[in-house]
Amino acid sequence: MKAEIIRLLRAKQGAYVSGEEISKQLNVSRTAVWKYINLLRNEGYEILSVTNKGYLLVSEIKELNEVELKYALKNYELIEACFFFDSIDSTNQKAKSIGNQLEFPQCLIVSDEQTSGRGRLGRQWQSEKGTGIWMSLLLKPDFAPDLASRITLMAAAAMSEAIEAETEIETAIKWPNDIVVNGKKVCGILTELNAELNRINYLVLGIGVNVNTRHFEAEIKEKATSLSIEKKNKWINRLNIIKLFVEKFEIYYNQFVNENDFRPVIEYNRRKSITLNKDVEIISGNVTKIAFALDIDMAGNLIVKNSDGTNEAIYYGEVSVRGINGYV
């Protein structure tokens, strides 16, 4: 409701909107309109009210909150609903709880803070309040479960493009799910699946981006950075990055689902790869081996040359790939 009121006030472009008009358009009482106006004021929106004229939006905020998130994403068909939390244990866990319902919308869950965020292989993800993008996209894809890993590569390409468009920072992609700036991680992606043999019930795409983070714990500060740090502590707009990501991800997703076209995603990942054309460590359980990363094939697998000269396709899953001298 708050997002709808902001939409109506913005549409008038500096003119007053009567409480009666708002109540009629939104099918609520004028008392309810007044209550929502006060909630918006408490969130930082400056709204004047004048008897016999109505309400006027004087100044507003463009940072990440429930109202701005819903307003920014209202025209994207992929997103049927948005949920915003001040704090949550895990956006992926919330997405899964929604997905376990009998009927559910494709939706985006965003939180200002995560208290139990995690990445691939169960690793903890530092999610400080008000500094990053902590979000999960809940999807109902109509394709086979063995194609689900391609969503990770779509997300990596879309977020890389979104970051570069908003910040002009050059990014690289560490196959399959990390975005790197100057050799350090700024974004991690975790795709989780609920599926049967030939059917996906739901897919959760979790994304964490270090946007305005200034400090990292000792064990990760040598391999993690933030967009703000890379821009000499300039403040970066998180909402703009989310909107750009959804815009670009929706294009890739529709190309794949509607046209069976995955080539643009692969071509982008190849072009931005920080993994290819060098020796890498491949870690699977307790087994570690060194191979040369040759290519990313059209299915999204990493093609490596083993020490015996044979080529092998590494499938995204419970495998970790890193440079032989460290993270990248």
User: 71 with 54, same domain?
Assistant: no
User: 305 with 164, same domain?
Assistant: no
Of 33-37, 202-206, 317-321, the range with the highest mean pLDDT is 202-206
User: 260 with 124, same domain?
Assistant: yes
Chain Cα centroid distance, residue 89:
17
Helix, strand, coil in percent for the chain, rounding step 5: 35, 30, 40
User: Pairing between strand 200-210 and 184-195?
Assistant: antiparallel
> What pLDDT, on the 0 to 100 scale, is given for residue 316?
77
User: 99 with 182, same domain?
Assistant: yes
| CATH number, domain containing residue 305 | 2.30.30.100
Q: Is 27 left (phi over 0), alpha (psi -120 to 50) or beta?
A: left
Domain that holds residue 28: 2-59
User: 232 with 207, same domain?
Assistant: yes
> What pLDDT, on the 0 to 100 scale, is given for residue 129?
85
Report which of residues 222 and 206 the model is more confident about.
Answer: 206
User: 175 with 152, same domain?
Assistant: yes
Number of domain units in the chain: 3
C-alpha 86/C-alpha 127 separation (Å) is 12
| CATH number, domain containing residue 158 | 3.30.930.10
> What pLDDT, on the 0 to 100 scale, is given for residue 221?
80
C-alpha 137/C-alpha 254 separation (Å) is 15
| CATH number, domain containing residue 54 | 1.10.10.10
Q: Minimal CA–CA distance to 190: which of 123, 246, 268, 283?
A: 123
C-alpha 54/C-alpha 74 separation (Å) is 25
As a whole number, mean pLDDT of residues 301-328 equals 83
User: 52 with 99, same domain?
Assistant: no
Q: Is the pLDDT of residue 94 over 60?
A: yes
C-alpha 301/C-alpha 132 separation (Å) is 29
> What pLDDT, on the 0 to 100 scale, is given for residue 43?
78
pLDDT in tens, 213-269: 988 887 888 899 999 999 999 999 999 999 999 999 999 999 999 999 999 999 999
User: 132 with 226, same domain?
Assistant: yes
**Summary mean pLDDT of the chain:** 91
pLDDT in tens, 52-89: 899 998 877 767 889 889 989 999 999 999 999 999 99
pLDDT bucket at 121, cuts 50 / 70 / 90: very low
pTM: 0.86
User: 145 with 125, same domain?
Assistant: yes
| CB distance 321 to 314 below 8 Å | yes
